[in-house]
Chain A
Amino acid sequence: MQSRITKTWIAALTLALLATACSGKEQENAGEPSAAVSPSATAAAAGSASASAEEAVNPLGKYDPPIEMSFGKLIDQSMKFKEGESIENNAWTKLYEEKLGIKVEFDWTVAGTEDQYFQKLNVAVASNNIPDSFMVNAQTLAKLAEAGQIEDLTPVFDKYLTPTTKELYYADGGNALRAATFDGKLMAIPNISSEIDSTSMLWVRTDWLEKLKLPEPKTMDDVYAISEAFAKQDPDGNGKADTYGLGVDKLLWDGFPGLEGFFNGFHAYPNMWVPDASGKLVSGNVQPQMKAALAKLQEMYKAGQIDKEFGIKDSAKVAESLIAGKLGLYYGQPWTPLWPMQDGKNLDPNMEWKAYPLPSVDAEPAKTQSLFPIKQYFVVKKGFKHPEALVKLANIYKSDEVANNQELYSSKDGIAFFKYAVTAGSDPHQNLNAYKKLSAAISAKDPSGLSPSDKAGYDHIQKYLNGDNVSWGNYLVFGPGSSYSIIDQYLTDKRIQYDAFFGAPTPAMTEKTAALNKLQLEAFTKIIMGEAPIDAFDKYVTDFNKLGGEQMTREVNEWYAKQGK
């Protein structure tokens, strides 16, 4: 008996020893990351920052001796490399080292989609094992700023901007920068993206329109008529009732097909904040206009115009219907001709599509909704000695040297070189301008005034005009009468409703958004499918407010009040 107890004790002791051995290692190694946030290190960093500020500020100055800067980076599904090149070794890394004296290194890279990047990043952030600089989303940015894991960029940002980058970051009146500002401190450089590229428009199969002798859609009534005819009058002429009216997918809100445009036609603006009559911000989700749009969708579903199984079909599944010639009407974003329409055209060369501006339910023209476009931010780890290096990297991204070098900024042979860069941010009207130049050149049949990259686009579209359908989709996006002509029209007529809230996510948003989205999806899907009466919308409004919507509205208005000042 005695010996048994002794042995158990020995075993327990061994384990305890093992545990302490491990934790000993922990302290030893943890010293490294925690030093980064210790006050002395911060003071040193601040000291060096102010010291370098006293030196002549050169926004594109070279570090001598060169500095090392580590990154985490997403290598997305479409990124390719030339023979012998890699993310660590390419024209961009060479440029960074030669021009700026910054040796870019990668602590880690993730292949796949943003979701996978953030999975990896979140683990790294939680274990405080982050690279010197990396890309984050709004939620992670708020978390990092609160935890003091990232460097304040206020002292260096404005000082180091070149005129070109200044124009880029202040083009929207500073809203993008405000979204990256916490307690008056700029904690990140936003990835400037377009607020117009994700607006929605109505897409119609015009060969079906002609066949059924229907007018082009100008009002919502035209839309209902087209939807009904496409569903009931056998537009594909195969004698079977196998076509749908309006395309809807299980998310309801999507790039293809999305219902945003349909709701906008009713002057309802889902998933964003709009000012009400009293000047306060309210959630578009709970406005009475939503109810009218939902009632109509319910009616259309009942009449068999919407796929009975939309509730389980994702974007790719709805795309199948379109490609197979079963769907001829949907609301979607400007890029949808590239996918899935192009695949449909490949199978059936007679397929013709056209984009129309959103029709309205009444005399007032419909405005398309535009969500706040900044989804990504670039940050610098707390304690990194040269926070201005990130600003320099952002500067060189927009420098003439890069813009004039196709091997840096553009793409060739299906390799998009600009994706190798460690920062990003493009002129929000880049695509719109490309459309303007391309369609003018196409109409005039004169490509002489185009830049090399626009010329490449021009040549590609010429293939379609010469009878090869391979670039049909590009023609529908950038050519005359294309999707961007609609966006151009939206801008001229001021028919875009911008999200009125663009601050960092409020506490209630971080906590409740997921639950509220689920509530909305369930309630709306049930109403559209007729499983719940239209009055279920009122219950949804009550639940929305109760489950955090009210708190969100309060926080959003607190933010809104501060913006006026």
Chain B
Amino acid sequence: MQHIAPSRKAFLVANYAFLCLLAVSCVLPLVYVLAMSFSSSSAAAGGLVTLWPVGFTTKSYEYILEKPAFSQAFLVTLERVALGTAVNMFLSILTAYPLSKESTQFKPRTFYAWVFVFTILFSGGLIPWYVTIQWTGINDTIWALILPGAVPVFNIILLLNFFRKLPRELEESAFIDGAGHWTTLIRIFVPLSMPAMATIMLLTIVTHWNSWFDGLILMNKPEHYPLSTYLQTIMTQMNLTTLTAEQMEDLANVSDRTAKAAQLFLGALPILLVYPFLQRFFVTGIVMGSVKE
């Protein structure tokens, strides 16, 4: 039995209590949305639902199953995440590798680095962005959601810094054994950078999952909307100050909170599940003991 000083004990108790509260505050909104999705529509509109469904019903979920829009948008998002992550990862690795070299090895390195940094510092603005994508003719296709953000500069900087921290000796020994740049990249750098890869992969997946504005502006048909855009279009409250005779019929939707909650929950679930699966790659000390100095 190890002795723990009272002050240490107090710290531990306070610390755990704080962390528990933090965790609870993250989980509660999700529980609320879940409870809402299983509640009766009037109870939800009356604000009577807190953490447990009121007037339990699975109607919202039946409604979603019947409605093609949700599953359609879900498929678009899956496609976007799969393609987008593949393209992003491929280009990030390819760009980070040369940029991680010293200027003595790769002379125009500084120039290229600035070209990339420039795009972080200055943005063309919405209209040029839109017009450029329009010219390429990829509007209203899945590529409009992927190619404009194909080179995530922030991720590249993360990755190149990770590459730079890897022991130089490993690279040199690979070259001595006759490996070229490609082999070194694929067989030494990539396997050793799993933690960094997992990080940027997570960032990429989350970004693609959550982006909604590009879907709204670049897609010309609601059937092509990714999930976040679709959710955005159903969550925005309509303007009640100027309601026309025809819009009165829309009022039934205003209190459709339970269906909205159900769709929100189903939309958030997959992305929550990604975290535990990527967690096993977040290991440190992967290169420990590989080099003796």
Within 8 A of A (CB), among B175-227: 216-217, 220-222, 225
Q: B134 and A129: CB pair below 8 A?
A: yes
Chain A residues positioned under 8 Å from B25 (CB to CB)? none
Contact of A339 among B115, B222, B230, B255 (CB under 8 A): B255
B7 at the interface (CB under 8 A from A): no
Specify which chain B residues have a CB less than 8 angstroms from the CB of A316 in the assembled complex: 45, 237, 254
A interface footprint on B238-263 (CB within 8 Å = 1, 0 otherwise): 11111111111111111100000000
Known interface pairs A78-B253, A109-B220, A119-B216; A197-B243 also in contact (CB < 8 Å):
yes
Interface range, B side: 35 or more
**CA–CA, A418 to B246, complex, Å?**
9
- Tell me, in angstroms, the Cα distance from A338 to B45 when the chains sit together: 13
Whether A26 is near chain B, meaning CB under 8 Å from some CB there, is yes
Measured CA separation A74–B236 after assembly (Å): 14
Residue in B140, B238, B243, B246 whose beta carbon sits within 8 Å of that of A77 in the complex = B238
A112 to B225 alpha-carbon distance, docked (Å): 11
Complex-state Cα separation, A427 to B214, whole angstroms: 38
**Residues of chain A in range 107-138 having any CB-CB distance to chain B below 8 Å:** 107-116, 119-120, 123, 126-127, 129
Q: Which of A7, A108, A416 contacts B220 (CB 8 A)?
A: A108
Query: Would you call B135 an interface residue if the criterion is a C-beta within 8 Å of the partner chain's C-beta atoms?
Result: yes
**A4 and B108 contact, Cβ closer than 8 Å, known pairs A75-B222, A123-B126:** yes
The answer to whether B131 touches A78, judged by C-beta atoms less than 8 angstroms apart, is no
Complex Cα distance, B48 from A372, in Å, reads 38
**Which listed residue, A22, A111, A194, A343, touches B45 by the CB 8 Å rule?**
A343
In contact, A113 and B249 (Cβ under 8 angstroms): no
- A58 interface residue per 8 A CB criterion: no
Query: Using a Cβ–Cβ cut-off of 8 Å, how many residues does chain A contribute to the interface with B?
Result: 72
Q: Do the beta carbons of B127 and A111 come within 8 Å of each other? A: no
Where chain B touches its partner, the secondary structure class is helix
Whether the Cβ atoms of B42 and A11 lie closer than 8 Å is no
Q: Which residues from B are CB-within-8-Å of A344?
A: 42, 46
A319 within 8 Å of B (CB atoms):
yes
CB distance from A171 to the nearest CB of B (A): 15
**Cβ-defined contact, B225 with A111, below 8 A:** yes
Question: How far apart sit A3 and B115, CA to CA, in the bound complex (Å)?
Answer: 20
Determine if B57 is an interface residue (Cβ-Cβ < 8 Å).
Answer: no
A426 close to chain B: CB less than 8 A: yes
Contacts of B217 in A (CB 8 A): 119-120, 123
Bound form: Cα–Cα A57–B111 in Å: 67
B233 within 8 A of A: yes
How far, in angstroms, from A110 to B220 measured CA to CA in the complex? 7
- Picked from B45, B112, B115, B222, the residue with its CB within 8 Å of the CB of A340 is B45
Cβ–Cβ contact B240 & A77, under 8 A: no
Judge whether A451 is part of the interface by a CB distance below 8 angstroms.
no
In whole angstroms, how far apart are the Cα atoms of A127 and B124 in the complex? 14
**Identity of the chain A residue whose Cβ is nearest the Cβ of B43 in the assembled complex:** A347
B250, A76: Cβ atoms closer than 8 Å: yes
- Given A324-B47, A324-B48, A343-B42, are A411 and B249 also a contact pair (CB < 8 Å)? yes
- Is B107 among interface residues, defined by CB-CB distance under 8 A? yes
CA distance A174 to B35 in the complex (A): 53
Q: Write out the residue numbers on chain A whose beta carbons fall within 8 Å of the beta carbon of B41.
A: 343
- Bound-state CA distance A346–B255 (Å) is 12
Q: B42 near A77 (CB under 8 angstroms)?
A: no
Question: Does chain B have a CB within 8 A of A254?
Answer: yes
Q: Give Cα distance in the complex from A255 to B217, angstroms.
A: 29
- CB neighbours of A320 from chain B (8 A): 45-47
Are B112 and A11 interface neighbours, CB within 8 A?
Answer: yes
A96 at the interface (CB under 8 A from B): no
The residue that A15 contacts in the complex, of B46, B115, B126, B135, with Cβ under 8 A, is B115
Q: Check B233–A113 contact: CB distance below 8 A.
A: yes
8 Å CB interface, A340-356 against B:
340, 343-344, 346-347
> Which residues from chain B sit less than 8 Å from chain A, CB to CB?
41-43, 45-48, 107-108, 111-112, 115, 126-127, 130-132, 134-135, 140, 216-217, 220-222, 225, 230, 232-234, 236-255
7 more CB-based (< 8 A) A-B contacts, given A335-B243, A426-B245: A4-B107, A15-B115, A22-B135, A26-B135, A123-B130, A193-B245, A316-B254
A-B contacts, 6 of them at CB < 8 A, read A8-B111, A127-B130, A339-B251, A339-B254, A371-B242, A426-B244
**Minimum-distance CB pairs A-B, first 10:** A320-B47, A112-B233, A323-B46, A111-B222, A108-B220, A255-B240, A339-B251, A346-B42, A78-B250, A324-B46
